[in-house]
Structure formats: structure tokens, C-alpha cells
A = this chain, B = another copy of it.
């Protein structure tokens, strides 16, 4: 059904691993490495050249790495110089610009726009239509929900580029803005439609425009069960490395990937 080798372009300098499936209308440019067991669906562009390519005859495309067992859904654009870890999974029409680094087991949803020069740890899940400005630093197990924007210029327009930092296990709910340079601690929760201009400590729930401290996340009860839901790793296992054994056991045995 898919993978008919129709209208596919692969640069001679690209290195394609074993058991890789490449969809129709895919372009893979110079110096791309695609590791084993990865699937690149139709209409993707991998190793998109940087601006310099169009003007500079001696341009060399920086190395792009697509990890093992990755699934890139159709119409994604991954720029040269970017590195996706193993088991990366994307929605459709994702754009990831140059010099972005994703750890292992990350997911990025449809139409998300990663502006480049940013880093993500392991097990980050970005939902649809997330916008990550340049120079953002995101930890491990961070969930970012739809239409969240990370900004980096405090007095636009300027030459300052100071992206936000998000700590491990934190959650940024739909339609929130992280203002330039803001630091979010671990296990924090940013409520929907918040504008976060001040640093957020570990375990804080903040909300509003401007975002204000509401309560400790450990005081939040699940609407369904009426019981404590945060820190969420103790109550959510699907797709996590502690699935089946529980977060506390996993943390103790240090089974980190």
C-alpha cells in the first residue's frame, strides 16, 4: 500500500540502515544517517539544507542523524544538523530546524514547529502545534500540550535570544506561553492559557496571565478517582519505562535508558 519507491530522492552521501522503509515522494539530502528499522513516510524531507546552501557554492550539509526504530509520519521536514534519538515518533507536517537534539523515545505532534538550536531529553511528548523558539532547553519526561509557545526575545525586536528551560517531569498545558529565559522546575504544572514570566519552582501549579502560584501539584485530586494524581509518574505508566513495575521501583533500580 505505502512504500512503493515512487518519486524518491536519496543523496549518494546518505547512509541508510537495515530494514528502513522510505515512503513515496521522500527527499533525503546530503550527509543524512538513517539508522536501522526506521520508517520515513511519504513526502518527508530529511536533511533540509540551511540558508547558506542557496548562496554559498562550497556549502557542506551538516550531518543529520535519524535514530533507530523511528517513525516519521508524512510531510515532515527535518533540517540538516539535527539529531533525533532512537524510537522518535512524529505526527504529520512537523518542522524541526537545524541543530535540534532530541533524546530517545520522544514524540512530536502534527504541525509542531521546532525552530532549531534547542535540546530535549528523553521521553518528551510534544502534542500537536507546539512552537519551540530557538535556544530552548527541555529536560526528560516533559509533556507539552497543543498550541504552547516558547519565546526567546524579551524586547522584540532585539538581538537577545534567551529561551526557556523546563525541568524533568513538568507539564505545560494547552495555549500557554513561556516568556524568554523563564525557568520551570521539576514536576511543575502550567495551567491552560497561562503566560509564564517568572520562574516556577519544583512541584508548583501556576496558572493565569500573568501566571501565579495556585497550589502544590501534590494537592491536586483526580476528577475521576478523587485521589492524588501528581507527581504523575506514580499514577501514569502508558509508554513509560516504568510500565508494569511502577515509577518508584524503576527509579530505585535506575533502569533509565
Contact = CB atoms under 8 A, between A and B. Distances in A.
Contact of A149 (B39, B111, B158, B175): B175
Interface of A: 1-2, 4, 6-7, 9, 11, 21, 24-25, 27, 29-30, 39, 42-43, 45, 48-49, 53-54, 61, 71, 74-75, 77, 91-93, 95, 110-111, 113, 115, 125, 128-129, 131, 143, 145-147, 149, 151, 154-160, 171, 173-175, 177, 179, 192-193, 195, 208-209, 220, 222-224, 229-230, 232, 235-236, 238
B6 A6 contact: no
User: Interface of chain A, helix or strand or loop or mixed?
Assistant: loop
B95 A95 contact: no
A173 B238 CA distance: 34
A147 B147 contact: yes
Q: How many copies does the complex hold?
A: 3
A213 B75 CA distance: 42
A150 to B, nearest CB: 10
Contact of A222 (B27, B113, B155): B155
